[in-house]
Amino acid sequence: MTIHGIHHVTAIASDPQPNLDFYIGLLGLRLVKRTINFDDPGTYHFYFGDAVGTPGTILTFFPWPGARRGTRGAGEIDATAFAIPAGSVGYWIERLKDYHVSAERVPERFGEEVIRLADTDGMLLELIASSRDGEFQPWTDGPVPAEHSIRGIHSVSAALESHEGTATLLTETFGFRLVQGTGNRFRFAAPGGGGAGRTIDLIRRSASQSGRLGAGSVHHIAFRVPDDAQQNAWREKLVTLGYDVSPMMDRVYFHSIYFREPGGVLFEIATDPPGFTTDETVAELGASLRLPPWMETGRPDIERILPGITLV
């Protein structure tokens, strides 16, 4: 039973077109799946990642047109960080400037250079220069040269009123280890070395700064397991520890269980298989609207409700 790090991060957006333009056109991620929110089929669910949708490179969005913006604070993910090559900070500063995106270089964090910016809904992002190696396949048809392209998720930073319970879950249950800490920030790493999505930071934040979910907020973070058997074992273990864990849910491209960690952030445990090529070839990824088999009969109505979009 091993948690291999982050599988994906899921966030909330408002209008779908600016979301596509930002993550594909500016950041150079590939749209690896265009589907719907299975729990709200009148809404898109976009999956962005590397060329093949490798777990650990995936950021997903539920875009609800006109959604009210969320507020950052305790009980939520404060920032989602992508890894960029160690020598690409200058390239990204200039690229963001060319696209009139406000960005700043913040002090080095644990020996790594950090660029901070926000997307079109105010979601806080970071680009962290990292020499980590891991599973990653660059999207060579994208707008960003492969030598500067995003290498997947570097880490997420969770803002918590009290981090101790979450730290215990990560270390004593998930098998992460505390690797560094400074001030009110503590970094934990998944077992198994480097690679995409291996890190989570916990930040102590006053309860008076409570977060509110909305556009620009992270809805949940998902951790990786290799198969259904391990996911079932994790569910049994978490229930034994007193967590209220959902039944397994079929998300077509992976299977999921959900629970709230002690600080209030929604955690998911997702399986690596079946993967994003289960209903499309690598060349076709993201090119058409994919629906789960049990919703195909409703395709005409779903397509009529969804907002029109143009792929970058």
Average pLDDT by stretches of 10, the chain with 312 residues? 93 98 98 97 96 96 96 92 96 98 95 97 97 82 96 96 95 96 95 82 83 94 97 98 98 98 96 97 97 97 96 84
Domain assignment present for 1 = no
What 3-state DSSP class applies to 2? coil
Q: What is d(CA 198, CA 223) in angstroms, rounded to the nearest whole number? A: 10
pLDDT of residue 135: 78
Contact 152, 57 (CB under 8 A): yes
Q: C-alpha distances in angstroms, 165 versus 33, 120, 184, 243? A: 35, 33, 15, 12
Structural domain for 12, as ranges? 6-305
Contact 160, 73 (CB under 8 A): no
What is the bridge-based pairing of β-strands 266-271 and 218-225?
A: parallel
Residues 6+ apart with CB under 8 A from 115: 89, 92, 93, 96, 103, 104, 105, 106, 126, 127, 128
Domain assignment present for 146 = yes
Q: What is d(CA 123, CA 252) in angstroms, rounded to the nearest whole number? A: 27
| pTM score above 0.75 | yes
CATH number at residue 76: 3.10.180.10
What is the bridge-based pairing of β-strands 40-49 and 249-250?
A: unpaired
Q: What is d(CA 243, CA 183) in angstroms, rounded to the nearest whole number? A: 30
Domain assignment present for 267 = yes
The answer to whether the Cα torsion of 158, 85, 55, 25 is positive or negative is positive
The pLDDT tens digits for 252-277 are 999 999 999 999 999 999 999 999 99
Domain assignment present for 249 = yes
How many domains is the chain partitioned into structurally? Answer: 1
Domain assignment present for 310 = no
The pLDDT tens digits for 48-61 are 999 999 999 999 99
CB atoms within 10 A of CB 172: 10
Domain assignment present for 214 = yes
Domain assignment present for 312 = no
Domain assignment present for 176 = yes
Q: What is d(CA 157, CA 6) in angstroms, rounded to the nearest whole number? A: 12
Helix (H) or strand (E) holding 91: helix 89-98
